[in-house]
Amino acid sequence: MKSLNKPMAQLVGLATGGTALLTAATALAEPLGSDTIWSLPRDVSRDGHRIDWLIQVTNGFVILLFGIMCVWMAWAILKHNSDHEAEYDHGDSRHHIAVAMGISALIFFVVDGNLWFNSTIDVNTVYWNFELAEKSPNVVRIEVNAHQWAWDARYAGPDGKFGTKDDFVTLNDVRVPMGLGADSKPNTDDDVPVSMQLASTDVIHSFYLPNLRIKQDAVPGMINRMWFVAAKKGEVEIGCAQHCGVHHYKMKGILTIMEPADFQAWSQHMSEQAQLGYDANDAEGNWGWKWREI
């Protein structure tokens, strides 16, 4: 059998590697609620598009750079064939150093700079702007207590205060109202933000809502915060994003986004049920804390 010449063999190797990469990418299991195998889990939050934009633009840059590298390598393979006399240098001339540094700086400032600049805007205007949630007259507050290996969620009940008789607690079952106001525009008075405070009783866990593009660590001895506005009805997954022990994989919960009226009815019912079984001496069961103001 006639063997391939060296440049051809290198090109075939490159093509085989690319095909293997593509096959591996399409073989990934479909994430819950995603619209295609290529996309992220379906975004059901008001602000998740900010994260998706950053990921998509960064993916675009990476694909562009990959394409440039492939063309560059193919050109080098074909040009530097057996007719081309080999040249050898250490790549330490001024010219080489300037080109290498110039390309590196360009990639760093454009790709990483874009990530840094826009993610800073996102955290300052939305994700870490907790006042936006706390000042809303409609805010729904939830305390989440993580432990090996489940999520306890506490609602304040009709009195709006945690640690009182009308609190109710759910296990791996967090429900929130759909929060987009009638005008569907963000940051308006009729949106319903969900504000969460998170703690842990044992090790570090991380409350992860992939469909809302948000996660926050639950750390023993600390109260952490996160907030979001849910934009679409339905059930999505809650996961733990910190490996927290042998049953880490069991820390799967469901976040249900409900019609506001249904959420009200459910909250009232749950609170009434909880009050029937309230025991003031149950120290373990009454783990709620006083809501930390900003």
The alpha carbon dihedral of 242, 218, 237, 34 has a sign of negative
Least separation in angstroms between CB 207 and Cu ion: 9
Tokens 């996660």 identify what position? 215
Which residues are paired to 235 by β-bridges? 256
The answer to whether 244 contacts Cu ion (rule: CB under 5 A) is yes
Least separation in angstroms between CB 214 and Cu ion: 16
Q: By C-beta, is 231 or 255 nearer to Cu ion?
A: 255
Total binding residues toward Cu ion, as defined by CB under 5 A: 4
Q: Identify the helix (H) or strand (E) that includes residue 102.
A: helix 94-107
Of 46, 53, 87, the C-alpha closest to 232 is 46
Least separation in angstroms between CB 182 and Cu ion: 38
Between CA 218 and CA 142 the distance in angstroms is 14
* Residues numbered 83-102 forming contacts with Cu ion, rule: CB under 5 A: none
Of 112, 121, 131, 139, the C-alpha closest to 50 is 121
Q: By C-beta, is 153 or 240 nearer to Cu ion?
A: 240
Of 169, 192, 165, 172, the C-alpha closest to 181 is 192
Least separation in angstroms between CB 148 and Cu ion: 7
* Residues numbered 1-60 forming contacts with Cu ion, rule: CB under 5 A: none
Q: Of residues 133, 240, 270, 274, which one binds Cu ion by CB under 5 A?
A: 240
Between CA 60 and CA 72 the distance in angstroms is 18
* Residues numbered 151-210 forming contacts with Cu ion, rule: CB under 5 A: 205
Which of the stretches 34-42, 150-158, 239-247, 257-265 binds Cu ion when contact is defined by CB under 5 A? 239-247
Angle at 170 between CA 169 and CA 174, to 5 degrees: 120
Least separation in angstroms between CB 167 and Cu ion: 23
Which of the stretches 46-54, 117-125, 249-257, 263-271 binds Cu ion when contact is defined by CB under 5 A? 249-257
Q: By C-beta, is 238 or 244 nearer to Cu ion?
A: 244
Between CA 64 and CA 215 the distance in angstroms is 29
Least separation in angstroms between CB 153 and Cu ion: 14
Please provide residue 215's backbone torsions phi and psi, each rounded to the nearest 5 degrees. -155, 155
Of 35, 56, 54, 55, the C-alpha closest to 44 is 35
Q: By C-beta, is 179 or 253 nearer to Cu ion?
A: 253
Q: Which two tokens stand for residue 155?
A: 């609602």
Least separation in angstroms between CB 198 and Cu ion: 11
Q: By C-beta, is 140 or 226 nearer to Cu ion?
A: 226
Return residues touching Cu ion (CB under 5 A): 205, 240, 244, 251
